[in-house]
Structure 1
Amino acid sequence: MDFKLSEEQHMLQDTAARLVRDNYAFEAREKFAESELGYSVAFWQQLGELGLTAVPFAEAFGGFGGSGVETQLIMTELGRGLCLEPYLHSVIFAGGLLSQLGSNEQRADLLPAVAAGQLQMAVAVDEPTSHYQLHDVRTRAEAVDGGWTLNGSKSVVVAGHSAGLILVSARTAGSDRDETGISLFMLDPRAPGVKRRTYPTMDGRKACELHLEDVFVSAASMLGDPGQALVALRYQQGRALAAQCAEAVGSMEAACALTLDYLKTRQQFGQAIGRFQVLQHRMVDMRIELDQATSMAILAACAADAPDSDERSRTLAAAKVLIVRAARFIAEQCIQLHGGIGLTWEYVLSHHAKHLLMLSHQLGNDDHHLKTYSRLLKVD
């Protein structure tokens, strides 16, 4: 298999890298994180103006028809810069759900705005008791004249505090853990009965708890057929998971580069500590883990847009397991090699470590995906 990038892919990668390098110095990131919005409006607009938010969408809706490989190139650079903008949750996850489930009218109305970076969306599928299980849905939708009434709570809705539209899973039939009867609704967060409690996550981003009390949504706000959203939710979460793996690789690459530079400059006993063989061995071990994680991220990117199958699901689950464990190892080793400074808030490495830990729990942790892989494993 040829893993060389095309000329267009190199240009896309260079554009994303240059944008992050020129606009996301660590000091600037800290100011963005402390703002009320939690990210940079100007940077989000630049992503739209340069066409980076349009990459995954079809040309009919203002996109470029990019694959998981193009998405990987962008997400790796965003991870390298610890960018706070909700590209993963708005463009890839929410945009993917809208592309797959939306009617022709819904897609024509909303996707061009998402592709241009004019509409930021969020996805609310996790609940306080669901523990990564997309079919464990206790939020209820009851049919009323002209639409539906939603009641329930969603947890850790990343970028839900700033979203213009939130995609909410709700049960229209069946009991709490049935795999049928789950529907997806487009929710205006300003609607009566919607309450959001915003808080910072451990890696500097913002999320919210979403509480719905007798919230009315019109019949036109449902995406897809009633009770049939679970297949699309799992498929699009797989695409988001592949993008998340690429983001983690970018962050790990930056952490390794910081650590290598530190080993070359930190002096002890009259010489750079990087000359000590035991520390060189640790750095080699980190590089091996990073290379393995990079290979799995590439595999996940190639599988992300493949037709739904057990093989695709196994590949994505395996990628998440390996990358989470590599991220944990690299974050711990980087901190150990730096010493106390590696944990200080003023030093960028600690933020990479926090971000890698946060990524390891979003969209399922390694234990969850290892169980998924085992369940799907076929022994001939």
Structure 2
Amino acid sequence: MNLEFTEEMVMLQDGLNKFLQNEYNFETRQKLSRDGIGYSESNWQQFADMGLLGVPFEEEYGGFGFGQTGLIVIMEAIGKGLVVEPYLASIILGGQLIQQAGSEEQKQALLPALIGGELKLAFAYAEQQSRYNLADVACTAEKQGEQYVLNGHKSVVFNAETADKIIVSARTSGNTISEQGVSLFIIDKAANGLTARHYETVDGLRASDLSFEAVTAEAVLGTIDEAFAVIQTVIDSATAAICAEGVGVINQLREKTVEYLKTRKQFGQPLGSFQILQHRSVDMFMAEEQMRSLAYLAAIHATSDDKAECVKSVSAAKIYLGDTRSIVAEQAAQLHGGIGVTDELDVAHYVKRLTMLNALFGDRDFQMQRFCQVS
């Protein structure tokens, strides 16, 4: 497997890493997470100015055209920094739906504003009963005259609180779990009949549960009844991206644990001098390297036309991401002792983020079933 990063990709990652090291320490991150909207508008604009928001999009819309490979380098840095800004929700999910399903007019109108930081998006697809089945859509959209009217509920919508527009999956035909009959609509956040309950997730991000009562869609995104394939493609891309984020999280858990073992003394000597703890450190290092390899493989195949290869690569990476909870996260918390699970220590928040990443877009059991179905 050979995944090469261009000089421009490396420069973007280096720039982001320097920004996070100099201006985004743990205390700053915690303050942003707990106050106001849950992240910094100023940081978001800086991301736009650095070119980060344009990484996956075509050059004709103001992006770099780096695709999935570019997302890998950005998301690994985001994982290291525990970034709370909505890159996943707005760029990887919302933005890629526009790029994949939008008309040329919609792309020209929305993508430059998204890349410039003026527009933020959210994607509402999950429902309380659907678990991880993207075809299980009970929210409906009925055509009334020239417009579509939505009714139903969506759960755990990231960035809905600050999004300017929300992309919603809704059923326009077929039964509740049919892949055929799922469509995408763009909704203005201020639309009449749209209500939201906002809350903080376990890892310090913000999500919302949305209710639609006779909400008129601003526009149809893509072809009516034919949105499932696009949704699955974007979710696979996002799954590969969060596996790369997981690499960054794992890297920091390992590095911080090794440093703690070097400085914390017991029985008059550093904990790191005990061979059994050295073995655990090696296990964490091996897990990081294996996760990195699987994340890179997932990036290569995430948008492949060979759907079986895509599913196997993406699901394999996500399965192992679930395994790292015990190999890395639990070890890191245990080796730090009681302080390893306190809010005051960043290690606990890396553990929480890794736990959330395991649940996003299908947990280990779901991905194992998906992998077996195509193997």
TM-score by length of 1: 0.97
C-alpha offsets along residues 10-40 of structure 1, whole Å, 9 cap, x if unaligned?
2122112112112210010011011121011
CA contact (8 A) 1:296 1:323 kept: no
Match of 2:264 in 1: 266
| 2:215 aligned partner, one-letter code | V
Q: Secondary structure at the match of 2:33?
A: helix
What's the offset of the Cα at 1:42?
1.1
Which residue does 2:77 correspond to in 1? 77
Partners of 2:317 and 2:340 in 1: CA distance: 27
CA offsets, 1:59-104, max 9 Å, x none? 1101010121211101100110000011011111111111011011
Residue pairs, 1:238-253, within 5 angstroms:
238-253=236-251
Cα distance change of structure 1 residues 3 and 110 upon mapping to structure 2, 3 Å threshold: closer
Distance verdict in 2 for CA 1:293–1:234, change over 3 Å: same
Whole-angstrom CA distance in 2 between matches of 1:307 and 1:43: 36
The within-5 A match list for 1:1-380 is 1-218=1-218, 221-307=219-305, 309-377=307-375
DSSP-derived class of the 2:142 partner: strand
In the alignment, residue 70 of structure 2 is paired with which amino acid?
E
Whether the aligned pair in 1 keeps the contact of 2:3 and 2:300 (CA below 8 Å) is no
CA distance in 2, matches of 1:100, 1:91: 12
What's the offset of the Cα at 1:9? Answer: 2.6
Give the distance between the partners of 1:338 and 1:135, measured in 2 at CA: 42
Q: Aligned in 2, Cα 1:349/1:170: closer, same or farther, shift over 3 Å?
A: same
- 1:294 shift after superposition: 0.8
Point out 4+ residue stretches in structure 1 off by more than 4 angstroms. none
Q: Tell me, in whole angstroms, the C-alpha distance in 2 between the residues paired with 1:208 and 1:375.
A: 32
Give me the whole-angstrom Cα distance separating, in 2, the residues matched to 1:344 and 1:259. 15
Q: 1:312 Cα shift?
A: 1.1
> Whole-Å Cα distance in 2 between the matches of residues 340 and 247 of structure 1?
26
- Counterpart of 2:252, as a letter, is A
Q: Look up the SS of the partner of 2:328 in the other structure.
A: helix
**What is the identity, as a one-letter code, of the residue corresponding to 1:249?**
V
Partners in 2 of 1:3 and 1:223 — Cα distance? Answer: 33
TM-score by length of 2: 0.98
> SS in structure 2 opposite 1:75?
helix
The one-character-per-residue Cα deviations of 1:213-255 (angstroms, maximum 9, x if unpaired) are 111124xx11111100000000010111111001111011011
Deviation at residue 129 of structure 1 after TM alignment = 0.2
Deviations 1:127-152 (A, max 9, x none): 00000100000001111012011000
Please state whether the residue corresponding to 1:84 is helix, strand or coil: coil
Quote the Cα distance in structure 1 between the aligned partners of 2:296 and 2:337.
32
1:53 is aligned with what amino acid? L
- Whole-angstrom distance in 2 between the partners of 1:136 and 1:308: 24
What's the secondary structure of 1:360's corresponding residue? helix
Counterpart contact for 1:252–1:327, Cα < 8 Å: no
Deviation string, structure 1 residues 297-352 (Cα, Å, up to 9, x no partner):
11111222322521112111111111221244210000111110100100000000
RMSD: 1.1
Letter in structure 2 aligned against 1:297: A
Residues 248 and 327, structure 1, Cα contact 8 Å, conserved in 2: no
How many Å separate the matches in 1 of 2:342 and 2:200? 18
Moved more, 159-168 or 308-317: 308-317
Code of the residue aligned with 2:119 in structure 1: it is L
1:328/1:357 contact within 8 Å kept: no
Gap runs ≥5 in structure 2 = none
Partners of 1:109 and 1:305 in 2: CA distance? 24
Identity %: 42
- TM-superposed CA distance for 1:287, in Å, is 1.0
State the distance in 2 between where 1:246 and 1:157 align: 21
What displacement does 1:155 show? 0.2
